[in-house]
Amino acid sequence: MKIGFIGLGNMGAPMAANLAKAGHDVTGFDMANIVVDGVNLASSAADAAKEQDVVITMLPNGAILRSVAADVLPAMNKGAALVDCSTVDVDSARAVAADAAAAGLLFVDAPVSGGVGGATAGTLTFMAGGTQEGFAKTAPLFDIMGQKAVHCGDAGAGQAAKICNNMILGVTMIATCEAFALADKLGLDRQKMFDVVSTSSGYSWTMNAYCPAPGVGPQSPADNGYKPGFAAELMLKDLRLSQQAAESADADTPMGQTAMALYEKFVEQEEGLGMDFSAMLPRFEGRGRG
């Protein structure tokens, strides 16, 4: 396929490189003029989108997605597909989908899970929303960039799946870190706690696969000074998106709201900026009840 790729940052660059390695004709654009092996560079987002079968975006937020879409949709051929792999608010995804449909184009919102490591290795998971036609057209590209793609429903469903998943992740990580800090104060050995919880009703991905306690469980960012991993500020972004969606949908999400408030404090007032989201554990370690 002929592919335009807009947004060649930490995630977008390796994704675009993997598409080029697989033999696709990839033209990229990034405001920072990033060079990617095998990828031709365009002078603008609109130029990257011209005459392409599929245009992929990987962008920081919904406002930027809307702005880029306004530039690229008029430049795209009828019947081409715009695939947004950013994590953005559901309303922005649905607004761009409506604009694409009005222009005779396909749109798929397909946020990813797996981080930079997954982008480089081609093992991402894609959560896709949009029409069946749009998903069918772009599924072969998901197979190159990732190991799994799930068609979650209509436009916005991919973003909904991502933010619901990451709301669970944020809440669960906080609970896991709180429990380790409490175990410390109760004199319970961390390894013994892991041995019990990881095989009991308290098991979770944050405990079993991404344990926030250094030297306990499989290798994780906790064993590397809490270097990301998944940065705390990115978790904060996703929790804010979850609460924005909850407000829009009139959904009661008190745990998600509390998690957002804790990560806001951690990132903006404490030492969390630039740390892995599991660095909540040393935060709780140093705090008392008050």
Tokens of residue 98, six digits? 């409506």
**Phi and psi angles of residue 235, each rounded to the nearest 5 degrees, phi first:** -60, -40
- DSSP labels for 13-80? HHHHHHHHHTT-EEEEE-TT----TT-EEPSSHHHHHTT-SEEEE--SSHHHHHHHHHHHGGGSPTT-
Residues 17, 21, 27, 31, Cα dihedral to 10°: 10
- Backbone dihedral region of 115: left (phi > 0), alpha (psi from -120 to 50 degrees) or beta? left
How many Cα atoms are found within 13 Å in the side-chain-facing hemisphere of 107?
Answer: 27
126 three-class SS: strand
CB 69 within 8 A of CB 96: yes
How many Cα atoms are found within 13 Å in the side-chain-facing hemisphere of 180?
Answer: 29
Count of CB atoms situated within 10 Å of the CB of 67: 12
- Residue 162 among the catalytic residues: yes
How many Cα atoms are found within 13 Å in the side-chain-facing hemisphere of 182?
Answer: 8
- Given the residues 162, 185, 237, 265, select the one marked as catalytic: 162
Note the Cα 156 to chain centre separation in Å: 14
For the annotated catalytic residues, the residue numbers are 162
